[in-house]
């Protein structure tokens, strides 16, 4: 058999299920699990086509007699991400593989977690003007979402005004009824626990509507947040790749999603999925697939994770991925806790009771409200904190079932001022930790505390917005601290978008998470891709980062969940400003091959780097992390000096001059050469060097450098630290 193929490195995902003992190859089904196995193509083996590739993959599997009743071993063969396959094997059979030529390694797969009427206008996106006009609202761009599926009948996915998909589109619609159209042009299912791409959770429908939902008038949730729902890129096409069951997203299926999306011809991928802890990119399927995607010119937006506010919790942090944190918007659905002493504390709730009594009711502290058997709460308003294992709405359900009249939900300390507009089971309000302390102190100050809740409806206008959500994961990116993460923050709190159907029968829902901020940025990337079709993924990313906002609507520095100024490990380059990103002046571009010396500089082995880039690599040269041509700096600086080079490309005005300014960075001396960049043509590249040297003994210093011309301001965030 003559075999030839373009790549020397492969990955096999082995799905291990059960079977009876048979022909010395089968073990008890309960002993099986899913592995990811990497292969290296032997030098004397050449693969000519996908059929021969399949035969080579099959050679790693045990022989199964033709009269057996076992399902086919190979479940999915990868052609673009690894060119591996998913198969059913026992642990003993995986061990047997280790002796076969081409075997490299095997590891168990992980199960990953799932991490709008107003947010487009909050971002300055208005129909027929500015960026939406310049990009034709994302026309011609295809956004692929890896998620829980999609409800194709939702009005957000109507194709009014949509052109046909681009000629390059090769995707499929796997619904067993005619559901795809010129908006939803593809839908595929890779989750073996599901039978179709139909969303059984709501998460995938919500992220799809956020990224590129079409216009829907009169969208609201229980009459709140009423308006015209629209995604960030309303003329972009959507393709759903269902890689998750309900809350379960297996790596094997994510790889299959990448494989299909690359072949189908998507332009942007949005992935609101991630692991609890970061791993090196050669062990991260999302990172490996994303590298293959950017090689094909596909932009990848990923959620940063919901493990904040703790440091070092960033997920999806590889530098070829846009890592997105979550912030608030300036819309709130107000419910005010009114106490017997006259004090009022503003909270939020999507349950707006029109006829809740203004009469003051007894107020009682129920703790975490997960065990109310010993407390008489009947007819009372119950204080509940957010600790414990119950969700916010589950606490309300428990309180209602115990006979209470209403609930005041109080944040734990770590959650600060981040509150949510949930659909509660009873009249309720969710208040901040700090206001909660005042309410608790009131209950202790009198023998008969009383309260009521006043519902005020939707209000737009919050000078603290955007404010970082407590749950938004924080840097440093522990795998590579020399890359500043997150890259950007975007709307991710109380986002109204498409839903399958809420318990109250609504077809829109308000939910929160970096899962929501990620598709916002995917939509922004689609707009920029449509406006600048020649820009690389790194160029689009640079434009987003160097033009981001650092101040809120009150013109003060963006704050965190405690209303303290947010540091760069919380906001990265700042809050996305799509209009400015469309015309950034200068960009920091990176070609896929530029990541190889960066990866080698992390002291990864040749084989580990090869796993990521899908070709044989010999790490004969390497660079420090901070030497990568990234739009921001993260420098581990000791007592000596360090110098790094950056190269910028002129995409603004042909004849332009930029001068540099250093902002902040106390305790660090910066020497920048040259301090003036003079351009004489578009797409001209110029380089500069930055030398860092400590002037005082500080462990962390943050600031920015800004290159300014008469028209443009191009800012790079800088974090200088010292690892012990």
Q: What is the 3-state secondary structure (H, E, C) of 256-315?
A: HHHHHHHHHCCCEEEECEECCCCCCHHHCHHHHHHHHHHHCCCEEEEECCCCCCCCCCCC
Which pLDDT belongs to residue 4?
31
- Cβ atoms of 324 and 473 within 8 Å: the answer is no
Location of structure tokens 């507009």: 421
Q: Report the distance separating Cα 632 and Cα 472, nearest Å.
A: 20
**HEC per residue, 440-462:** HHHHHHCCCCEEEEEEEEEEECC
Which pLDDT belongs to residue 89?
72
Which pLDDT belongs to residue 66?
47
Among 550, 628, 541, which residue's Cα sits nearest to residue 587?
A: 541
Provide DSSP, 480-532: -TTS-S--EEEE-SSEEEE-S--TTS-SEEEE-SHHHHHHHHHHHHHHHHHH-
Just list the catalytic residues: 147, 203, 515
Among 702, 704, 290, 270, which residue's Cα sits nearest to residue 492?
A: 270
Q: Report the distance separating Cα 408 and Cα 638, nearest Å.
A: 50
**HEC per residue, 175-230:** CCCCCCCCCEEEEEECCCCCCCCECCCCHHHHHHHHHHCCCEEEEEECCEEEEEEC
pLDDT < 70: residue spans in the chain: 1-34, 42-54, 62-75, 77, 83-88, 106-107, 109, 112-118, 247, 501-506, 724
Which pLDDT belongs to residue 135?
77
**Helices 514-531 and 203-212 meet at what angle, rounded to 10?**
30
Instruction: Please provide residue 41's backbone torsions phi and psi, each rounded to the nearest 5 degrees.
Output: -65, 120
Q: Report the distance separating Cα 82 and Cα 258, nearest Å.
A: 10
**Strands laid side by side in the 633-636 sheet:** 633-636, 713-721, 700-708, 656-664, 676-679
């Amino acid at each position: 058999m003559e075999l030839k193929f373009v790549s020397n490195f492969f990955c096999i995902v082995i799905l291990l299920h059960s079977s009876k003992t048979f022909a010395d190859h089968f073990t008890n089904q309960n002993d099986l699990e899913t592995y990811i196995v990497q292969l290296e193509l032997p030098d004397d083996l050449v693969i000519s086509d996908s059929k021969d590739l399949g035969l080579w993959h099959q050679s790693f599997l045990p022989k199964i007699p033709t009269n057996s009743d076992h399902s086919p071993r190979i479940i999915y063969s990868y052609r673009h991400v690894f060119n591996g396959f998913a198969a059913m094997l026992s642990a003993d059979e995986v061990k047997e593989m280790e002796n076969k030529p081409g075997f490299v390694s095997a590891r168990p797969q992980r199960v990953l977690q799932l991490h709008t009427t107003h947010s487009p206008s909050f971002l300055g996106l208005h129909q027929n003007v500015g960026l939406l006009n310049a990009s034709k609202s994302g026309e011609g761009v295809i956004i692929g979402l890896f998620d829980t599926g999609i409800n194709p009948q939702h009005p957000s996915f109507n194709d009014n005004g949509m052109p046909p998909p681009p000629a390059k589109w090769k995707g499929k619609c796997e619904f067993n009824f005619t559901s795809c159209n010129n908006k939803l042009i593809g839908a595929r299912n890779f989750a073996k626990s599901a039978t179709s791409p139909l969303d059984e959770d709501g998460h995938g429908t919500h992220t799809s509507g956020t990224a590129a939902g079409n216009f829907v008038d009169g969208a609201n949730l229980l009459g709140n947040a009423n308006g015209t729902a629209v995604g960030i890129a309303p003329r972009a096409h959507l393709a759903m790749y269902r890689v998750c069951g309900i809350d379960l997203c297996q790596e094997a299926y994510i790889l299959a999603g990448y494989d299909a999306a690359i072949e189908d011809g998507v332009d942007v991928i949005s992935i609101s999925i991630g692991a609890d802890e970061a791993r090196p990119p050669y062990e991260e399927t999302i990172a490996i697939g994303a590298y293959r995607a950017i090689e094909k010119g596909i932009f990848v937006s990923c959620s940063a994770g919901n493990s904040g506010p703790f440091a070092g919790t960033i997920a999806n942090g590889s530098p070829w991925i846009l890592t997105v944190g979550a912030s608030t918007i300036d819309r709130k659905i107000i419910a005010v806790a009114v106490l017997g002493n006259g004090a009022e504390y503003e909270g939020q709730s999507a349950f707006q009771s029109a006829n809740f009594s203004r009469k003051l009711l007894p107020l009682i502290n129920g703790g975490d409200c997960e065990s109310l058997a010993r407390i008489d709460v009947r007819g009372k308003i119950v204080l509940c904190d957010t600790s414990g294992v119950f969700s916010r709405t589950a606490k309300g359900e428990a309180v209602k079932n115990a006979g209470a009249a209403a609930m005041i939900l109080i944040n734990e300390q770590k959650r600060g001022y981040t509150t949510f507009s949930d659909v509660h089971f009873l009249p309720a309000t969710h208040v901040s930790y700090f206001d909660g302390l005042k309410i608790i102190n009131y209950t202790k100050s009198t023998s008969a505390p009383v309260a009521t809740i006043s519902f005020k409806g939707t209000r737009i206008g919050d000078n603290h917005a955007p404010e970082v959500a407590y749950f938004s994961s924080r840097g440093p990116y522990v795998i590579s601290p020399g890359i500043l993460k997150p890259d950007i923050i975007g709307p991710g709190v109380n986002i109204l978008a498409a839903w399958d159907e809420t318990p109250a029968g609504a077809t829109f829902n308000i939910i929160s998470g970096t899962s929501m901020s990620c598709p916002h940025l995917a939509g922004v990337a689609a707009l920029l891709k449509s406006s600048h079709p020649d820009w690389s993924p790194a160029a689009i990313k640079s434009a987003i980062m160097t033009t981001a906002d650092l101040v809120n609507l009150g013109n003060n520095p963006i704050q965190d969940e405690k209303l303290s100024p947010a540091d760069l490990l919380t906001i990265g380059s700042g809050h996305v400003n799509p209009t400015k990103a469309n015309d950034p002046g200068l960009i920091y571009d990176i070609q896929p091959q530029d990541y190889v010396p960066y990866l080698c500089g992390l002291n990864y082995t040749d084989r580990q780097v090869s796993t990521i880039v899908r070709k044989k690599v010999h790490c004969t040269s390497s660079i420090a992390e901070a030497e990568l041509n990234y739009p921001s700096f993260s420098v581990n600086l000791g007592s000596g000096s360090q110098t790094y080079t950056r190269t910028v490309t002129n995409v603004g005005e042909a004849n332009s001059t930029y001068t540099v300014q250093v902002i902040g960075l106390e305790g660090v001396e910066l020497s920048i050469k040259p301090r003036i960049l003079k351009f004489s043509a578009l797409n001209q590249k110029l380089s500069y060097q930055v030398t860092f040297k400590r002037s005082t003994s500080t462990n962390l210093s943050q600031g920015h450098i800004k290159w300014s011309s008469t028209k443009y301001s191009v800012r790079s965030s800088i974090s200088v630290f010292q690892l012990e």
